[in-house]
């Protein structure tokens, strides 16, 4: 039998009525002849509640016990979904991560998947099981402890199962009906894309689009897993949602496919650091060791042997970055006159595989922002994206202006 993976996020299983709705969708695919692997998240809000309990009891918690607690939300959903399917006379059973087993490394709360042996599930499918309901977000460490994959990890679980079982497709059910050219909440002209390439989706996910977790897209691209993003609340059809596929499967590409934004950005500058070999390594090694996710990096032109080093990071990591750099300064390994943090900025990006063969995208983007009176603070580029940091108050204006300038409302 062909295999289909279906993943349901927290809003899709937020209560019993929504679990029943999701179960009916699963039943439709079973009727088509699929063996179905269903990956479920915890009910909406449940993981936050569990994390809050852990923090209240032990702010400096044992990461192994943290994983044991926060993974329990998915276990509840998996059991309820299996019971619902059984009530519909669909042969189903639930599986926790350790039962599959989904094997990970030992990095608690941010574990990486190492292997998914397929023998257990395949044996049950051969014995008549039609649906395996697997708790997402969790796995088993080499020490035999429960691990979790980080927030949004159920997406990664789903793609990993699709790769391991050679699934025909991996359907990600969420509260939006696909991938849009921009966030429709701030750009009324945003349009749903029928198809998008893995590379474009990876850039959009990393730049602030919340539709898919970045790691899940990386995994899908590596193992050529065909993804479909669709809504749990829309009518079911074979053409619903957005397919995330290889670039070769997209006949015609727009120069720009989407505009992404991230409001939770900060710009930090170490003022007047020595301009000599090794300084950048000292700065960014310290930030890496402190777990700071650095994105954009700009170094000013040297003046009398001194320079300014600017970088961006998430706003909730500013304190961590300050502590790390001040510690290095106190040690004598680094000297700077001032450490300036600007937490009132946002990142706006344009993304498109068509940018590889089309010149003038950067010029057009910068002209549009200039015409709107929006000053650019930092710029970074890759082969298929251009990102800028601007004042946060201009975020919506920038997104809308760029969406209009690149005529993304015309995307089918």
Rounded distance, CA 156 to CA 13, Å?
18
Residue 206: closest CA among 406, 351, 32: 351
Q: Is the peptide bond before 101 cis (omega within 30 degrees of 0)?
A: yes
Q: Which residues, in sequence order, are CB contacts of 133 under 8 Å at separation 6+?
A: 38, 40, 78, 81, 82, 85, 92, 93, 94, 95
List 36's β-bridge partners, or say none: 4, 131
- Tell me whether residue 180 is annotated as binding: yes
- Tell me whether residue 7 is annotated as binding: yes
For residue 349, the number of C-alpha atoms closer than 13 Å in the C-beta half-sphere is 29
- Tell me whether residue 8 is annotated as binding: yes
| 248 burial via Cβ count (<10 Å: 0-12, 13-18, 19+) | exposed
**Encoding tokens for residue 175?**
């509260």
- Tell me whether residue 10 is annotated as binding: yes
- Tell me whether residue 394 is annotated as binding: no
Residue 270: closest CA among 259, 282, 260: 282
- Tell me whether residue 84 is annotated as binding: no
Q: Is 103 helix (H, G, I), strand (E, B) or coil?
A: strand
- Tell me whether residue 385 is annotated as binding: no
- Tell me whether residue 210 is annotated as binding: yes
- Tell me whether residue 151 is annotated as binding: no
Q: Which residues, in sequence order, are CB contacts of 4 under 8 Å at separation 6+?
A: 29, 34, 35, 36, 37, 167, 168, 169, 171
Annotated binding site for ATP: 7-10, 174-175, 180, 185, 210-211
Annotated binding site: 7-10, 47, 74, 174-175, 180, 185, 210-211
Annotated binding site for substrate: 47, 74
């Amino acid at each position: 039998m062909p295999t289909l993976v279906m993943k349901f996020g927290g809003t899709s299983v937020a209560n019993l009525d929504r679990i029943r709705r999701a179960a009916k969708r699963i039943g439709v695919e079973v009727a088509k002849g699929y063996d179905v692997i269903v990956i479920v998240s915890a009910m909406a809000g449940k993981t936050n509640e569990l994390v809050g309990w852990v923090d209240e009891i032990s702010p400096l918690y044992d990461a192994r016990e943290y994983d044991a607690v926060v993974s329990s939300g998915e276990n509840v959903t998996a059991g309820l979904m299996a019971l619902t399917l059984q009530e519909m006379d669909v042969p189903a059973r639930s599986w926790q991560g350790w039962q599959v087993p989904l094997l990970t490394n030992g990095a608690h709360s941010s574990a990486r998947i190492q292997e998914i042996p397929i023998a257990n599930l395949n044996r049950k499918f051969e014995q008549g099981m039609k649906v395996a309901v697997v708790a997402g977000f969790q796995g088993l460490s080499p020490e035999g402890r429960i691990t979790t994959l980080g927030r949004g990890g159920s997406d990664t679980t789903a793609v990993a199962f699709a790769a391991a079982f050679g699934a025909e497709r991996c359907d990600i059910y969420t509260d939006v009906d696909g991938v849009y050219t921009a966030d429709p909440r701030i750009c009324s002209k945003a349009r749903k894309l029928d198809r998008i390439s893995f590379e474009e989706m990876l850039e959009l996910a990393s730049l602030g689009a919340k539709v898919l977790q970045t790691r899940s897209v990386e995994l899908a691209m590596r193992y050529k897993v065909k993804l479909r993003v669709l809504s749990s609340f829309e009518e079911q059809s074979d053409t619903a949602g957005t397919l995330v596929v290889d670039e070769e499967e997209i006949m015609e590409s727009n120069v720009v496919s989407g505009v992404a934004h991230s409001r939770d950005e900060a710009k930090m500058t170490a003022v007047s650091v020595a301009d000599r070999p090794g300084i950048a390594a000292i700065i960014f090694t310290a930030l890496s060791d402190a777990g700071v996710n650095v994105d954009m990096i700009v170094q000013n032109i040297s003046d009398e042997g001194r320079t300014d080093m600017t970088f961006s990071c998430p706003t909730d990591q500013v304190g961590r970055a300050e502590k790390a750099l001040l510690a290095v300064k106190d040690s004598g390994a680094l000297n700077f006159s001032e450490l300036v943090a600007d937490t009132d900025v946002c990142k706006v990006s344009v993304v498109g595989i068509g940018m590889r063969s089309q010149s003038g995208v950067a010029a057009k983007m910068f002209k549009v922002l200039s015409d709107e009176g929006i000053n650019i603070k930092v710029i970074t580029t890759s082969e298929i994206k251009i990102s800028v940091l601007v004042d946060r108050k201009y975020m919506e204006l920038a997104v809308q202006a760029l969406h209009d300038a690149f005529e993304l409302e015309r995307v089918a």
